[in-house]
Structure 1
């Protein structure tokens, strides 16, 4: 059992006045971690400590801040197995996937450690006797609120970018992975001055209360509902909101692609991390000419993939994060079936312990079904057959979300149309995952606002200041 503590200022504190909450293993229901529920006084103290540490940390050189991140990255890499064990126990991801997420987080910390000292301003062409420049300064106190589905990689990105630009941080990890967040912050905080990084724990109400405090920026990755609540709080306090919310990412299968290869791509996109990814494939539009072969291959791929406990090295996919989330996923499947969808595989809640849910393929889906309209966040592949590429693009673009989209096509003309016309932040052609390091995009609509990745994240964490300097007037001025 992990006994999580909060870090407020420089003090580790075991419990708040609201007591503690418990997380159980989604594979078998056994207790995994116990964490404090922060109260208002905890949040006030954490923000106060961050505010007090802000001037000193902002005045430190970018090289000093970068060196601290490099040391922390080394420590996290050395502790990867221990952190992966906690993550797998708390949210179910197989150990290999948990380790991969931790390595991604380490790489991101190192990326921002390298980019931070290069994040300079620029000079402007003004009058010959004057100096004009634009410089970047830290925003101040940043509240970082992160999700459970990839807790280390996401947290390292936001924490790394905030810290290397000279901000102080109050971090609240998801209540579903508090021990993972605690282990991560322990390793980071060892290399930072007191008060620069604090950790508070608790549920969504704690996150909402933190977002309403007098902080300067709230960086959040999570659900659209939570993101909208945070945006409303920031409108009241004047803080900047940096949000990556939910998504309902489409996959388009064109008429000219190999349906078996397309099914493999769809399986990767829909089922990776048991469908619990912001950029998971949530709805599939397949051309009628390849639909039957695509569906047969996708069902076959489902039956080949092994679902089991995350600690079992044979498991490709683990359980859902908890039974409450499983109820949400199954409710969408049940509603789709009631409205006419056909279950080609899966679709039933299994007996036994844990929060397992089978890989599920639904055919005969319609645009107004929740599985096609909302974020399911589970191992569900809902399929709608279309008669043309135009129809697929049109239907794919009707979502209230705008995070990402994938198009599988053999036509360069259709690929070009996809990235030009789809109203999303990221378009991937012929690969559901992948891309060069440093890519950054703006999510659209209900999916959020602001850059969440890449060098541009450093811009989000800072404020630009224009400076104009002239010599003073009067006689005999030395300048």
Structure 2
């Protein structure tokens, strides 16, 4: 029987609304206890040879890889992400753990050129206790990045996954915890209040968060009060700028891929489009065809509350003069489905252009020149990523230099070489959230000067 003294989380399937589960939620006392345990365990883990820490992480990666089907099924049940796509995310997470298992033991320090009779070093060391607050839209891949980098550098970690995927988070913790000493990695299930309690703890050294901008700002304020480091990847409002010289059908396929993949629930989804007037008509026609194709095999949003948020953006834009060329209406039936939607006639003041919608909605604004499209793309408080489609090297150069974002993609909405790491700008957060540089975020550098002692006669 469920202990009624302990709060629970009701998780419903976005596919058909059925109850997936009702896991117990941790309390503030549980959070405080987990942080104390992590604080006690961390020095011993920091003293563990780096190669042994890497070996433990490699074993955890194998466990995640071996349980890929179970993790993918949990992701699908809780978030509605198709099984195949969910499994790809799980395997990406396992690969990330493996990468950090290799990179951690060779994480760089520096020797300095001082006096001939002394040795000067810059040595990285763990920061201490890391709280990792991770999202629901790619829950295993994102969590593995933060957990892997923090653990391999000698930190102890308390992980709270999103309350929208608690079963996924609990299974990931179960698979990984057994490969580390007691207390080094702990998983807690709970809602936003639990995350706030963890972030506000005076015994936490780093709060690493991937999620919405409002939550990220609250975490930054909490860290300012305690002195903890805030590592934040907040929301984005990523623009796509379409130049006059590109094939409009190809550009529309790129916009659809960027806007409709995972039902628009990606950190780097295309959130707003600026298309040159010379190709606008053909682009919109092709984009509508793309949306209808995506609607033939729909994916739900994570839940109905999020669907209400997405539809509110669309309805408000239509009320302000935009036209829904495809989609734009809440469908009948169970689940949290919302159609791929194309909005034309959008203006900069509309909320769908100013804020992150995080759904399968592509709002389009027609502009008279590439320069104006670029200027409007730059005029936003977010700074996560942006895409430019152009055959002009001059325009591409101008764009990547001007866009105030962490990642600029030219002529492809997704892709890039492995190992890249970016820092978001503005409301989108601060710090490296992935790549080898994430190891730097999880460590603090100490300068050591070793001089010669003068000995007694």
Q: Same fold (TM over 0.5)?
A: yes
Which of residues 139, 145, 148 is equivalent to 2:127?
139
SS at match of 1:242: strand
Partner of 1:161: 149
Cα distance change on mapping 1:170 and 1:17 into 2, 3 Å: farther
Structure 1 distance, partners of 2:425, 2:63, is: 36
Structure 1 distance, partners of 2:299, 2:82, is: 6
Structure 2 distance, partners of 1:57, 1:384, is: 53
Partner of 2:362: 381
Structure 1 distance, partners of 2:259, 2:307, is: 16
Q: Does 1:172 align with 2:160?
A: yes
TM-score (norm 1): 0.94
Q: Does 1:458 align with 2:407?
A: no
Partner of 1:310: none
Contact 1:16–1:38, Cα closer than 8 Å, also in 2:
no
Structure 1 distance, partners of 2:114, 2:66, is: 51
Partner of 2:206: 217
SS at match of 1:21: coil
Q: Does 1:319 align with 2:300?
A: yes
Q: Write the mapping of 1:21-32 to structure 2, written as runs, cut at 5 A.
A: 21-32=9-20
Cα deviation, 1:112-144, whole Å, max 9, x if unaligned, reads: 111001103110000111110000010000000
Partner of 1:343: 324
Structure 2 distance, partners of 1:16, 1:197, is: 27
Structure 1 distance, partners of 2:141, 2:4, is: 28
Show structure 2 runs of 5+ residues with no match.
none
Q: Does 1:449 align with 2:438?
A: no
C-alpha displacement at 1:69, in angstroms?
A: 1.1
Q: Does 1:76 align with 2:64?
A: yes
Structure 1 distance, partners of 2:3, 2:37, is: 18
Partner of 2:282: 293
C-alpha displacement at 1:33, in angstroms?
A: 2.3
Structure 1 distance, partners of 2:105, 2:331, is: 52
Structure 1 distance, partners of 2:26, 2:131, is: 14
Show structure 1 runs of 5+ residues with no match.
4-13, 308-314
Contact 1:260–1:294, Cα closer than 8 Å, also in 2:
yes
Q: Write the mapping of 1:182-193 to structure 2, written as runs, cut at 5 A.
A: 182-193=170-181
Structure 2 distance, partners of 1:89, 1:74, is: 23
Structure 2 distance, partners of 1:435, 1:338, is: 38
Partner of 1:390: 371
Q: Does 1:371 align with 2:352?
A: yes
Structure 2 distance, partners of 1:156, 1:121, is: 24
Cα distance change on mapping 1:306 and 1:363 into 2, 3 Å: closer
Which of residues 418, 422, 444 is equivalent to 2:403?
422
Contact 1:16–1:39, Cα closer than 8 Å, also in 2:
no
Structure 1 distance, partners of 2:355, 2:413, is: 19
Structure 2 distance, partners of 1:266, 1:103, is: 26
Contact 2:260–2:294, Cα closer than 8 Å, also in 1:
no
Contact 1:33–1:178, Cα closer than 8 Å, also in 2:
no
Structure 1 distance, partners of 2:125, 2:37, is: 20
Partner of 1:107: 95
SS at match of 2:279: helix
C-alpha displacement at 1:19, in angstroms?
A: 2.4
Partner of 2:270: 281
Structure 2 distance, partners of 1:360, 1:208, is: 34
Cα deviation, 1:305-359, whole Å, max 9, x if unaligned, reads: 245xxxxxxx4x4100000000000001000000000110000000000000000
Partner of 1:42: 30
Contact 1:168–1:197, Cα closer than 8 Å, also in 2:
yes
Please tell me the root mean square deviation across aligned C-alpha atoms, in Å: 1.2
SS at match of 1:273: helix
Cα deviation, 1:245-266, whole Å, max 9, x if unaligned, reads: 0000000000000000000000
Cα deviation, 1:31-74, whole Å, max 9, x if unaligned, reads: 11222222111011100110110010000011111111111111
C-alpha displacement at 1:17, in angstroms?
A: 4.4
